[in-house]
Structure 1
Amino acid sequence: MAVTKTRNLPLMEQFFAVRRFSSVLEFTADGTHLLFASNISGQFNLWRVPVEGGWPDQLTAFADDTVRGVGVSPTDGRIVFCADHDGDEFHQLYLLDSDRGWPEKLTDEPKVQHNVGSASWSPDGTKFTYAANARKPTDMEVWVRDAETSESRPVFGEGKFSFPGHFSPDGSKLLAIDFRNNSDVSIHLIDVESGETRELTPHDDDAIFLPGPWAQDGSGFYMVSDAGSEFRGLAFYDLASGSHDWVEQPTQDVDDVAMSADGRVLGWIVNDEGYDRLRLRDLETGQDLPQPELPAGARPHLTGAEPPLAISPDGTHAALIAASPRRPPEAWVVETRTGKARAVTDSRLGGLLEDDLVEAELVSYPSFDDRDIPAWLYRPNVDGKAPVVLSIHGGPEAQERPVYQALYQYLLSRGIAVLATNIRGSTGYGKSYQRLVQRDWGGGDMQDWEHAVKWLRGQDWVEPDRIGVYGGSYGGFAVLTCVTRLPQLWAAAVDIFGPSNLVTFAKAVPPTWKRFIARFVGDPETEAEFLMERSPITYVENVQTPLLVIQGATDPRVVKGESDQLVDKLKSLGRDVEYVVFDDEGHGFTKRANELKAYGLAAGWLEQHLLGS
């Protein structure tokens, strides 16, 4: 049994005494301040901080609503943003004066999703664009709203799952995407006045085309694409020729691109084995700007959405939210001319220093088909052998990144190691690897988890009979698959809102997802037998592992019934299961008190069953 070297152990609350961020980051219209959404107040509200740093101003005072997207008018600085209630993901639109006032609620449709982002405003500030399924629950359409008359009209997306991109420099055109599935996205050009549309990137095989900012002269725009490549590169699309040229060859994924309003500075983020690398270029000279002096890490996410890269209107500053394994997320501002960077927030509140925390080590292990599966290994500072938690991220087409994970660091302080895997289906390793999990949930991925345990048991520092498994969303499905189909491997398990029955899960997903769920998981109408064969609920009688299940009552992605049916069956079988439901949370935790309670329960469960404490 492992014995920790530290006698006076920090409390669990100290590791969680950090500030989190949602998917909001934008400069004000004059470039002097940075807007972000953080849970400083206990909920994700909108804040504004000078680019030099200092205490931020709180712009909203929500207790139950979460700010998830924001756009700033380039002319008068007005802010349009979206927020949802209790994590239900039915985001409503709000308008906020740049200097004073209270948010004006623009929409009040509790069963409609409204999404707005940093590219929402037209260059003259007279209108903004957003996505909403206001006319038909299954169709996410692109809408344009007049900022003065409040008139809104759909301009694209009937029968589609679509989102707006940038307005052209003269405001007459608008880019939009048709999101067909996780591997297939196309760009359309909309004439804002007439409503006429043209697909700019028609293609036969699945490919991703994501629009970025326009060139100042309106001749074309930057985009990210994996067409003809394993990875997503950065290209410039020329409207006259209908073709594109690479700016950044697709040898690693480009995850985001932004440009200053004056067209002078272009920035993009490269995914380098999970690390975010920011690149900046002076478009007037064509020369790369100095490498930003940022800590090695990546952007965090809230419910899968990362805060975007932001560049000030005059190009003097860039900004991003970044975290590393030993430092919680901060808003960083970069001087583009020099590369010098500074954190303009301070999220470390628990009295812990970087030396008190554990760095992540990038490792890999072989799976059943000789693929090397990448993973992040966190080893505690202990004498002797240590228990391990296998952590499985959500998505599944997402990526475990080297960011601050309070639960990991707490477990490490107690002598428990963590192996956080990027099994087949994870992003960042090429589209062929990503597509391996499509329509194969509970197939090759399950063998990756089994081989992770085999690899761990081959390490001389691992306590082989004290391995736990932990995950949320798809990671929760993974946990349930592990304890039902690989029941002999685990000493403890924690499932956070994971699907237990792939048929009922696929039938209950949000209406806008139904068009691609068959490609993503399987068709619940025509492939029910296949989906049940892959469902944890089918094998529930095999469960031997003590299991903690955590669920949000308002979760629109994995509805509460997924956990209910599993827990009811386990209880009828007399298995060791504990079930905790948060009535005011959805697919994730937006309220700090709930976050502390949920992860405190998870930490306590893993400690109890892996350490016997």
Structure 2
Amino acid sequence: MPDSVVNDLLSHTRLLDVSPLPGGGELALISDTGDGARLWRRRLDGSAATVLPTGHGSPGRCVWRPDGRAILLSVDPVGAENYRLTEVDADTGETNWSLAADGVRFEFGTPYGSGTRPYSPDSGYLAYSGNARDPEVFDVLVRDLSTGRSRTVLTGDDRYYPMHWSPDGGRLLIMRLHQNTDHALYVHDVESGRNRRITPPGRAKWLPGGWSADGTAVFVSTDHGRDLLGLARLDVTSGDVTWLHRPEHEVVAVAVSPSGGRLAWGVTVAGRTEIYTATADGRDVRRLDHAPSGMACEELGLGGGALAFVDEDRVSARISDPTRPPEAYLLGTLDDTVERLTDCARNPSAPNLVEPEVVEYPGHEGLPVEAFVYRPHGAHAGRPAPVAVLIHGGPEHRHAAEFDPLVQALLHAGIGVLAPNVRGSTGYGSAFQRLVYRDWAGGDVEDVERGVAYLGTRDWVDTDRLGVCGGSYGGLSTLACLVRSPETWRCAVDLFGPSDLVVDATLVPPYWRARVKDWIGDVDDPADRERLRLASPLTHADRIAAPLLVVQGARDARVARRHSDVLVDRLRERGHEVEYMLLLDEGHGFQSRENEREVITAWVDWMVRHLKPDTVEAT
């Protein structure tokens, strides 16, 4: 792969988070131009953005203090995900105060999410979570910004996170996040100090967007009593649910205007977000067809995928499509105005970027699986192309119609891509999502194998030249594919993937331990431990036939380095073709653009070497 192609595909500015100052005509942005993530202020009057220094570490999320005088950051100092919270002066970037402790993680909303309001409306208090008392749970605390003192308002027995203050500042909405499909909401009363659950009993998702203007309800995306997420109003006194929008697809994000008078929400359809708006009582529903096509919303605002009102009439959105990286937009909710606020693409010169075809094929047990098929230019029945099956991580995540430099680099090298949303993926209902629970590397791998069968129906695909690859859980699935059907694959790439489910269930981060038994399995139960051992790719590593590239971050807090070390040693002992890239300064992802460039280049070169050997020999 020519360095110039990867350089072009990674030349964009990476937009990580966007936070509007409500009613203030300004945005705070976190973006990475290639030399590390930085905090920017962007006024909406057309003036140039300004960068604010934020000290050591990589900021990932930001939120304005309501008075506009400060910005709160979530910062990962060394890539180990022990986040610190730092409030910086909005004019100078100088630190006002910071919360940090060795081995402790602090959050001002749900992990990796955006769209919460952790500051009280009068800017006097900040709500946050931390696991300093017990590394396995998160307590909720409130910091008095005038004194710098914090008090615990909810002592956790699970993971609890502050979400939104009520309009009068007298109550705080708190979320318990047990599993990704098992939430509960609580209200903390500031005057009495009491915490009260407001959601009905039972397992359901409750994704809050904010309070009603009168403080009697919160607006949520929920699957309460149904399978798909819909938009609803939840009465905080009675717990009654009033449905406002129940489309045939999932409502994955909700935002409330500063006055509480308007709503905006996103619905995922074929990997793209349809954005809607309405009055707070659910009337005058309007789809914003003028919004750019692409992915804008994620559950809980993961990765910056949240909507946010700038004022009563405009909403900000971070939107990406397969041929353009995420950009920040302002969308009119009462008219058709669209304003792009960033230029993250910076006019990349990589040619012929490819849009996917969205398809559906029958998966394991006939369950429909949606997938994104990327066909390289020039591939046809007379000149079939190799294909890489790319498996997403999570496992409760998904592929979408969004920009991915790796996918486009593979396509530029003449390799097609199949990106399936196998069971366990989000966006297709909670029943589909829960199918992966206690079945890791099981039915989802069967879904991948059915995807291979589907590729056999496409005349432009050379099914004798298939590779499989993925990161995190996708790395586990990649390894499982290699041992389940070794004859299918010519090569594979495993990025940060667990190889041993017993080790994975044992060495997960401490704050995941409460969910592990129902999510992965119970290592203390002999029968369950044996089930996990038999499902682990490492147990059957001698079956791996395809050449394998393994990439691992030495600081990875989610998937221990041991998974990759042991697997690589096992393969090398029997003389198997394996390459190992150990990134000493990375965790579970890429903080360094240079590391990302090196990995994508090696990934594509590995696929080209084994799927297109004639090309390599000719070169």
| Same structural fold, with TM-score higher than 0.5 when normalized by the shorter chain | yes
In the alignment, the residues of structure 2 paired with residue 283 and residue 386 of structure 1 have an alpha-carbon distance, to the nearest angstrom, of 51
Query: Aligned equivalents of 2:12 and 2:79: distance in 1?
Result: 20
* Cross-structure match for 1:124: 122
> Which residue does the alignment assign to 2:295?
298
Q: Which residue of 1 aligns with 2:582?
A: 581
Cα contact 1:157–1:178 (8 A) shared by 2: no
State the AA in 1 paired with 2:25.
Answer: T
Partner of 1:366: 362
1:17 maps onto 2:16 in alignment: no
| Structure 1, 26-35 or 580-589: larger mean CA deviation | 26-35
Q: CA deviation at 1:243?
A: 0.7
| Per-residue deviation, residues 540-572 of structure 1 (Å, max 9, x unmatched) | 011111111111111111011111111111111
Structure 2 letter corresponding to 1:578: E
Confirm whether residue 327 of structure 1 aligns to residue 319 of structure 2: no
Bigger mean CA offset, 296-305 vs 95-104 = 296-305
Q: Equivalents in 1 of 2:546, 2:215: separation in Å? A: 60
Secondary structure of residue in 2 paired with 1:463: strand
| Post-superposition offset of 1:53 | 5.0
Matches within 5 A, 1:453-532: 453-526=452-525, 527-532=528-533
- Give the equivalent residue in structure 1 for 2:592: 591
Separation of aligned partners in 2, 1:69 and 1:267: 21
The reply on whether 1:275 has 2:268 as its aligned counterpart is no
Q: Which runs of 4+ in 1 moved over 6 A?
A: 300-304
* 2:431 equivalent to 1:439: no
- Structure 2 unaligned spans of 5+: 110-115
* Residue 132 of structure 2 is aligned to residue 102 of structure 1: no
Aligned pair in 2 of structure 1 residues 212, 61: CA closer, same or farther (>3 Å)? closer
Alpha-carbon displacement from aligned partner over 1:573-596 (angstroms, at most 9, x marks no partner): 111111111111111112111111
Q: Tell me the residue number matched to 2:134.
A: 136
Aligned residues of 1:14 and 1:350 also touching (Cα < 8 A): no
Correspondence for 2:157:
159
Matched letter for residue 105 of structure 2 = Q
CA contact (8 A) 2:424 2:434 kept: yes
- The letter for the 2-side match of 1:372 is P
What's the CA shift string for 1:58-112, capped at 9, x where partnerless?
12355x6222222222124321121112321100011112222413441220211
2:335, 2:281 → 1: CA distance?
16
Contact 1:290/1:339 (CA < 8 Å) preserved in 2? no
Alpha-carbon deviations, 1:201-227, whole Å to 9, x = none?
1313x2112322111111111112101
Secondary structure at the residue paired with 1:588? Answer: coil
Alignment-derived partner of residue 66 in structure 1: 58
Per-residue CA deviations over 1:233-252 (Å, capped at 9, x if unaligned) read: 11111234331201112532
Q: Partner of 1:536 in structure 2?
A: 537
RMSD: 2.2
Higher relative contact order (CA 8 A, sep 6+): 1
Summarize the alignment of residues 145-294 of structure 1 with structure 2, pairs less than 5 Å apart.
145-204=143-202, 206-249=203-246, 251-283=248-280, 286-289=283-286, 291-294=288-291
Q: Which amino acid aligns with 1:463?
A: D
Q: State the alpha-carbon separation in 2 of the partners of residues 222 and 186 from structure 1.
A: 14
Q: Percent identity over the alignment?
A: 36
1:42 aligns with 2:41: no
Aligned match of 1:401: 400
| Secondary structure of the corresponding residue to residue 387 of structure 1 | strand
CA deviation after TM superposition for structure 1 residue 300, in Å:
8.2
Mapped to 1, the partners of 2:185 and 2:155 lie a distance apart of 12
* 1:494-529 deviation line (CA, Å, top 9, x unaligned): 100000000111111111100001111111221210
**Distance in 2 (alpha carbons) for counterparts of 1:532 and 1:9:** 41
Q: 1:195 offset after TM fit, Å? A: 2.3
Q: What is residue 81 of structure 2 aligned with on the other side?
A: 89
> Per-residue displacement from partner, 1:103-158 (whole Å, max 9, x unpaired)?
34412202111112431100111001111112110111111111111111121142
Cα displacement (A) at 1:289: 4.8
More displaced 10-residue stretch of structure 1: 449-458 or 297-306: 297-306
Given that residues 426 and 433 in structure 1 are in contact (C-alpha distance below 8 angstroms), is that contact kept between their aligned partners in structure 2? yes
In structure 1, distance between residues paired with 2:370 and 2:23: 43
Q: Distance in 1 between matches of 2:328 and 2:150?
A: 34
CA distance in structure 2 between the aligned counterparts of 1:303 and 1:608, rounded to whole angstroms: 40
Stretch moving more, 501-510 or 343-352: 343-352
* Counterpart residue type for residue 482 of structure 1: C
Change (3 A) 1:446 1:173: same
1:310-367: per-residue Cα shift (whole Å, max 9, x none)?
43453232111111011111111112231321221112236337x7211111012222
- Shift in alpha-carbon separation, 1:52–1:546, aligned structure 2, 3 A: farther
**Aligned CA distance change for structure 1 residues 97 and 240 (closer, same or farther; 3 Å):** same
Q: Number of paired residues?
A: 603
CA distance in 1 between counterparts of 2:20 and 2:300 reads 23
The whole-number CA distance in structure 2 between the counterparts of 1:302 and 1:476 is 23
CA distance in 1, matches of 2:175, 2:245: 21
1:347 matched to 2:341? The reply is no
* Contact 2:254/2:266 (<8 A) preserved: yes
Shift of 1:464: 1.6
2:466/2:491 contact within 8 Å kept: yes
The AA in structure 1 aligned to 2:374 is Y
Query: Is the 8 Å Cα contact of residues 325 and 402 (structure 1) preserved in structure 2?
Result: yes
After TM superposition, give the deviation of residue 399 of structure 1 in Å: 1.0
Give the Cα–Cα distance (whole angstroms) in 1 for the partners of residues 537 and 321 of structure 2.
Answer: 34
Partner residue of 2:566? 565
Q: Is residue 549–residue 563 contact of structure 1 (8 Å, CA) maintained in 2?
A: yes
Contact 1:123 1:169 in 2 (8 A): yes
TM-aligned CA distance change 1:157 to 1:145, over 3 Å: same
